[in-house]
Amino acid sequence: MAAVDEAVALYEKKFPKRGQVKRAPWASWGVPSRDLDGTRYQKSSGSTGGRRLFDVDEKQQRAAFAELAKLYGESNALDMCRVMSDILAFDRKSFAGSLKAFSNIFGHEEAKAMVMRNPGLLLAKPEEAANSDKLTMQLSYVVAATRPAGPLLLATVLGLLLVPLLESVTGIPIRTNLFTAITGSDAAEVARMLQQSSDPMGIFK
C-alpha cells in the first residue's frame, strides 16, 4: 500500500464518511418531540447532522499528505499520520510558512524534528509559529514521551509544569500547601526545600 493510501485509510478509520456513523439509540432519550408552542421538532434520519470539523474529502486529504511529504519526507509524513491522522484536515497552505517560522527560531532540522514529535503544531498559522519560544520545543518532547501512556499522563505532566506559573499569578503556594498536607512537615521547611530544588546553586538564598 502506498504511503498516501495508508494515511488516507487511517484518516477514514478515525473519521468515517457521512452516513457510516449512526446515532446511538439513546442519543434522543429525554429530548421532547414538540416545542413549548406545540411545534413538532424535525426528527433526525439517524446519521449525525451538520458539517463536522473533519469532514474533508479524500482529494483534500491527499493534497495535505503530498504537502507534508514534500516538507518532511514521505516516511516522516506517514509516521505523523499514524500518530495524528487529524493533520490531513489541517490547512495545508500553512504548513510551509509555519515550518519556515519555526526554522527561523530553532533551525530547520530542529524545527522539523519538533513538529514530527508533536504533529499538532501543524495546526499553527505562520504568524502563530513565529511567536514560539523554547517552551514550544520542550513541550514537543513531553508530548512525544507521554504519548504511549495516553492523554491522561500528558495532562498530568502539563498540569505539573503549569504549577509554578499558577503560583506566580495567584500568589498561592500550591506546592508548599500540597506537600505540607501530605507529609505533615512544617510549611516553612517545605517551602525552603522547594526553593532549593528549583535553585540548586543557592542563587536566591
The pLDDT assigned to 172 comes to 58
What pTM was estimated for this model as a whole?
0.61
Q: Which long-range contacts (CB under 8 A, 24 or more apart) does 135-139 make?
A: 136/102, 137/106, 137/110
Instruction: Identify whether 31 is part of a domain.
Output: no
Instruction: Identify whether 40 is part of a domain.
Output: no
61 and 134 assigned to the same domain: yes
The pLDDT assigned to 146 comes to 80
Instruction: Identify whether 124 is part of a domain.
Output: yes
Instruction: Identify whether 3 is part of a domain.
Output: yes
Instruction: Identify whether 114 is part of a domain.
Output: yes
Name the 3-class secondary structure at 51. Answer: coil
For residues 11 and 33, what is the distance between their CA atoms, to the nearest angstrom? 35
Residue tagged 486529504 (cell numbers)? 61
6 and 96 assigned to the same domain: yes
69 and 135 assigned to the same domain: yes
Q: What is the dihedral of CA 145, 157, 53, 79, to 10 degrees?
A: 0
For residues 61 and 5, what is the distance between their CA atoms, to the nearest angstrom? 10
5 and 105 assigned to the same domain: yes
The pLDDT assigned to 107 comes to 97
Out of 149, 166, 188, a domain closes at: 149
Instruction: Identify whether 36 is part of a domain.
Output: no
90 and 145 assigned to the same domain: yes
pLDDT tens sequence for the chain (205 residues)? 799 999 999 999 998 875 544 444 434 444 444 444 454 544 444 444 445 567 788 999 999 999 999 999 999 999 999 999 999 999 999 999 999 999 999 999 999 999 999 999 999 999 999 999 988 898 888 888 887 765 555 455 455 555 555 555 556 554 555 445 544 555 566 456 545 544 444 433 3
The pLDDT assigned to 184 comes to 55
103 and 176 assigned to the same domain: no
As for how many domains the chain has, the answer is 2
184 and 107 assigned to the same domain: no
The pLDDT assigned to 105 comes to 96
155 and 193 assigned to the same domain: yes
Instruction: Identify whether 16 is part of a domain.
Output: no
| Cβ contact 6:85 at 8 Å | no
68 and 103 assigned to the same domain: yes
The pLDDT assigned to 126 comes to 95
63 and 145 assigned to the same domain: yes
Parent domain of 180: 151-198
Terminal alpha carbon distance of the chain? 62
Out of 109, 126, 149, a domain closes at: 149
93 and 145 assigned to the same domain: yes
The pLDDT assigned to 1 comes to 79
Instruction: Identify whether 94 is part of a domain.
Output: yes
136 and 165 assigned to the same domain: no
